[in-house]
Amino acid sequence: MQLFYTPDIDPKLSQYFLSEEESKHAVRVLRLAVGDEVTLIDGKGGLYKAEIIDAHPKRTILQINSVTEEYQKRNHYLHIAIAPTKNLDRIEWFLEKATEIGIDEISLVICQRSERKEAKIERLDKIITSAIKQSIKAYHPKLNAPVAFHQFIQQGFEGDKYIAHCADGEKADLTQSFKKHGRYLIMIGPEGDFTPAEVEMAAKSSYRALTLGESRLRTETAALEACFEVNFLNR
């Protein structure tokens, strides 16, 4: 299956023109020709079956044959807020794997102990795009630009809010306190964990302390574990 990400496609039209970059890839690299069938995803739930009617390396024309709306729509909403790691490769790995498993929104949160204060959203978003194409996901997860911790927790969120940290104290366990088919926001801290002040600040903003097991996990591993648990429990 040859799949293309086409966020600007109009489901009301019967034809679609691939961009010059995608046209070149389709014709020169994939060697697609007139009559070949392709699949398109718009990132908003639409999956399209199409046929090439003009295989031009700069402006390939497709005939849309069928449209499936809300393709594999998820029964819950998962938002992971994660502190960018010092080695950005680890965040890239998390974005790729979380997208393949299933996630709806990712926020990059700058904490007091964060060793990285910025990230190139454009590059990270391309990694997400590649992952939805790889895993045939019709929904493109939303990626938010880095924001300071104190600003992030002031943002509204309708659903269950958790903060996963390593400090002692009573913590919720998803396997015991989970409500299926809901909306979940889980915060994952930097390599040095959240500060006590940040944990307290989150608690005052109705975040529940969360445990992800007895092992001390890397930031990106903890985030992926949370992603896996939520998806597993919502099966």
164-216 pLDDT, tens per residue? 998 888 898 988 878 899 999 999 999 999 999 999 999 999 999 999 988 88
In the predicted model, what is the mean pLDDT of residues 25-48? 96
C-alpha span between 139 and 133 (Å, rounded)? 10
Beta pairing class for 105-110 and 142-148:
parallel
Q: Cβ distance 132 to 107 under 8 Å?
A: no
pLDDT value for 176: 82
pLDDT value for 216: 85
**With 90 as the cut, is the pLDDT of residue 67 above it?**
yes
**With 80 as the cut, is the pLDDT of residue 87 above it?**
yes
Higher pLDDT, 4 or 176: 4
In the predicted model, what is the mean pLDDT of residues 24-31? 94
pLDDT value for 105: 98
pLDDT value for 26: 94
pLDDT value for 38: 97
pLDDT value for 214: 84
> Quick one: residue 81, left, alpha or beta (phi over 0 = left, psi -120 to 50 = alpha)?
beta
Higher pLDDT, 104 or 213: 104
Lowest mean pLDDT among 50-54, 126-130, 181-185, 215-219: 215-219
C-alpha span between 42 and 157 (Å, rounded)? 26
pLDDT value for 213: 85
Q: What residue ranges in 55-176 does DSSP mark as E strands?
A: 61-68, 77-82, 105-110, 142-148, 160-164, 172-173
Model confidence at 124, in pLDDT bands (50, 70, 90)?
very high
pLDDT value for 175: 84
